[in-house]
Structure 1
Amino acid sequence: MIYVDADACPVKAEVEAVATRHGTRVAMVSNGGIRPSPNPLIESVFVDQGADEADKWIAERAGPGDVVITSDIPLAARAVEAGARVLKPNGEALTEANVGNALATRDLMADLRAADPFRQGGGRPFGKADRARFREALERELRRTKG
């Protein structure tokens, strides 16, 4: 099963295409506002409004053999701890080896933003290369979970 933290996920179409090719079920989890797919492998799960409701739903279900797609580092940490494979939308895998560093970096950046209210987000825009990297990474993870 693939669990997608779908509210702000930029690679929903890529997930659907790769999952369909592999015959893998997908749960697109959100607070609403995303259009359900007619694809029988894609389940739209709408959780209550509120902070982290989609994350909680996914974390309660993900485990060994599952793949979680999220940019949310605390959710990624919980999923890794439960034995799931985790990918960020840019294709970066979060594992036991690197999720602790990702959490620490997230916390540091939150502290820096709080200390400097004029500090803007930043980072480069999400592009075609990111989508391609993600597709390749998801293909790899699905082959591993079936292998």
Structure 2
Amino acid sequence: MDALLKSANALMGIAARSVIQVEDRVTSPQLRVLVFLAAEGTQNLGAIAEELRVHPSNATRTCDKLLKADLITRSEDPADRRFVQLDLAPAGRELVESVLASRRKALSEVLDRIPDDARAVVLEGFSTFADAAGASHADGRFLLHLSTS
């Protein structure tokens, strides 16, 4: 258990450092919205509120700030104009990609320090662990939740 907790702390540190790199542009909840949209595509406010586990009015305020920063776009839902669709703007996609690239680089640096004969075993172990934890996305959402929940 100690080894698992130690590894979790290392992963959270990597995730936290990637969030710190963009904290001058977005808050942690705003970054969660951007990563969610990057992973899931166009969403409505209800889905974003559910993802953030907040009241819809809080999700609206968060998204309004992202709209003003030109990080997301808003359009009418063609199926029901009472609903709006939210999606990543190019600048939002770029921000998410920079955070995930930072995480990939940091993780790669750690993997490079693992002896070649152990690397495959470590990666298989992490893959099995992620599957058991229900982490179905390789896009960073799981690590983002660890660092901002």
Name the TM-score class by shorter chain.
under 0.3
Hey, which of these two has a bigger chunk of helix by percent?
2
**Structure 1-normalised TM-score?**
0.27
Structure whose CA Rg is larger: 2
Hey, which of these two has a bigger chunk of strand by percent?
1
